[in-house]
Structure 1
Amino acid sequence: MANVTLKANLPSETESSLRFPTYPVAGQAGTSFKPEHLAAISALSGSQGFFEIHAENYMGAGGPPHRALERVRRDHPISLHGVCMSLGGPQPLDKDHLKRFKSLIDRYEPALVSEHLAWSTHVDTYLNDLLPLPYTPATLAHVCDHIDEMQNAIGRPILLENPSTYVLFAESSISETDFIREISKRTGCGLLLDINNVFVSASNHGFSALEYLSDFPLAKVGEIHLAGHAEQEDDEGELLLIDSHDGPVADAVWQLYEIVINSCGPIPTLIEWDSNIPDWPVLRAEALAAQAILDRHVSDRETSHALG
């Protein structure tokens, strides 16, 4: 696999070349953008953090979705999160999908761009799911090739998100953390650490979430996701957690988040809430809880430096 030289990221470009203002995301918490919240967001003054959009919801040329997004983007940074690139899939990346993805980057100049370590397509069928893959040398090379292709096509590095998993593959010969570490090393991509995914997978497979995080390449993390999960039972009546994004962040996930922030610093953090969507104040309160942790870390570090 050849090394690639990526186009400079947007912050290095001149302000005059940008369609929208440049806003910082460092140390900020944000939320998923839902059009039904637009009026409430617009009624508030000042920063509301950053907003994440799913790329596939905005691949049409225009209409109300784009008008709503343009209003939000004028005053806030956004993160662009892909869910259908199928980086782990066996077939070549969909070049038309890549073009549409790049057009969104050019149009909205997102501060952060991310995709999943998963597969979601088969031939010409797009599955409404993020499916796991075996961690083998062959799969590793295949995923890296796809990430190289995507990054070259869009002209910037992406952040790769760790999955939530419900099954394991007998043929896997590489740990998930080593697999992700090697992907970042080979491709130069950053990482999106979804802490709820870590907690869900750890509970489902019986490993320690803390040990997973201690082995995760945290220095490569450019964004964090937090979300709610649901409790179900598997066929044997055992507890099964589902990464449902349909409720508040669990206390155990908040505890893991504080540990990560204390270790890594104030990484931009996104609250995902994609079904059973509450009123804006409820969703905003989740983001403010994350913001309080980020701000407390900054304050504690400044106090430590002052005392030192």
Structure 2
Amino acid sequence: MKTALPTACGLGLRAPHIETVLAERPAVAWWEVHSENYFAVSGGATPSRELTGGAAITALTQLRQDYPISLHGVGMGLGRLDPLDPAHLAQLKQLVARIEPAAVSEHLAWNHFAQRHFNDLLPVPRVEGVIEHLATRIDQVQTALQRPILIENVSAYVGFADEMLSEAQLMVELARRTGCGLLVDLNNFHVNTLNLGLDAAAELAQIPGQYVEEIHVAGFEWFDGTAVDTHGAPISAEVFALLQQAQRQWGAKPVLLERDTNLSSFADLYHEYRSLDQYMNTLQGNTSKVYA
């Protein structure tokens, strides 16, 4: 098993909502947080011996008593050419040991080159040698954590020449070689359809359900004619259509609602979460869930 997440809808937990969630303990099946927000460092670069301080990690530890937690990394840079940052990996290992999450995931992206860090999830060109390179990095992380991880597809804004396989094919081959699971982001596939003319439905059709352990849904926004994966808008009709396809193709999977920008009150976000959860219950033929 790559994940112990419930086969239900989860919600991304962001800092402005933590106090409300701690106080109200809302009916959410599971929470996902960005791993790096809970790292403890000493001197800015060296991992501390224990994750003992800070309101953020204290709150996450409290929530872990009542909810399954998924740790979702945004800073590892699995696709980078230079070695993975040992301090980053050590901190992730410490966090996993303390929280004992139901799932740990990372993006198929790169973010570092020639001692420069890029604050973005940059897509990895799918060219000769990329499978071996990424498989080695995934094995390194899984060996350090002593558990399988999930890998997520990312949005892209430019295409690359001489690519040899689709992103779906890359993900499936990496899962087959390394034993990792797949986190399929439907909004990212849709953004790539809008920007690059890819066929999101065809991409999903290439992914066997046995490898899929989690699904992400979110909204995007348009900027100067480009669809940008901001996680700052409601889920689009096209992404809902992909969610229907995924349900038909793979069966029930954990589904996460992401919202990172244009954050509303928690009450508004919780209403959006409930609507998604009811939608998934309808797709799965289960209408028995009742909210307080």
Whether the aligned pair in 2 keeps the contact of 1:53 and 1:81 (CA below 8 Å) is: yes
Do 2:74 and 2:106's aligned partners in 1 also have CA atoms closer than 8 Å? yes
List runs of 5+ in structure 1 lacking aligned partners. Answer: 1-7, 12-23, 234-238, 303-308
CA shift, 1:249, in A, is 1.2
Maintained 8 Å contact 1:117/1:160: yes
Say which structure is richer in helix: 1
Unaligned runs of 5+ in 2: 41-50
Instruction: Give 1:155's aligned residue.
Output: 146
TM-score, normalization: structure 2?
A: 0.88
Q: CA deviation at 1:42?
A: 3.2
CA RMSD of aligned residues (A): 2.1
CA distance in 2, matches of 1:80, 1:300: 28
SS in 2 for 1:266: coil
Partner of 2:46: none
Shift of 1:160: 0.4
Q: Residues 177 and 216 of structure 1 are in contact (CA less than 8 Å); yes or no, is this contact kept in structure 2?
A: yes
2:112 corresponds to which residue? 121
- 2:279 counterpart residue number: 293
Kindly, what percent of the aligned residue pairs are identical?
A: 37
Q: Per-residue CA shift, 1:161-217, capped at 9, x if unaligned?
A: 011111111131222221111111111110000000010001111132212211233
Distance 1:46 1:56, change over 3 A: closer
Name the amino acid aligned to 2:265: D
**3-state DSSP class of the match of 1:130?**
strand
State yes or no: 1:89 paired with 2:75: no
CA distance in 1, matches of 2:114, 2:58: 33
Counterpart of 1:37 in structure 2: which amino acid?
H
Structure 2 equivalent of residue 242 of structure 1: 228
Q: Which moved more, 1:119-128 or 1:77-86?
A: 119-128
More off after superposition, 241-250 vs 292-301: 292-301
* Counterpart residue number, 1:48: 28
Tell me if the contact between 2:22 and 2:59 (Cα under 8 Å) persists in the aligned partners.
no
Letter paired with 1:40:
T
Count residues in correspondence.
277
Is 256-265 or 81-90 further displaced after alignment?
Answer: 256-265
Contact 1:231/1:241 (<8 A) preserved: yes
Distance 1:45 1:85, change over 3 A: closer
Letter in 2 for 1:47: A
Q: How far off its partner does 1:64 sit? A: 1.1
Deviates more, 1:51-60 or 1:250-259: 250-259
What's the CA shift for 1:102? 0.7
Provide the residue aligned with 1:218 in structure 2.
209
Determine the structure 2 residue equivalent to 1:99: 90
Pairwise CA distance, 1:258: 1.8
Matches of residues 247-266 of structure 1 in structure 2 within 5 Å? Answer: 247-266=233-252
Match of 1:80 in 2: 71
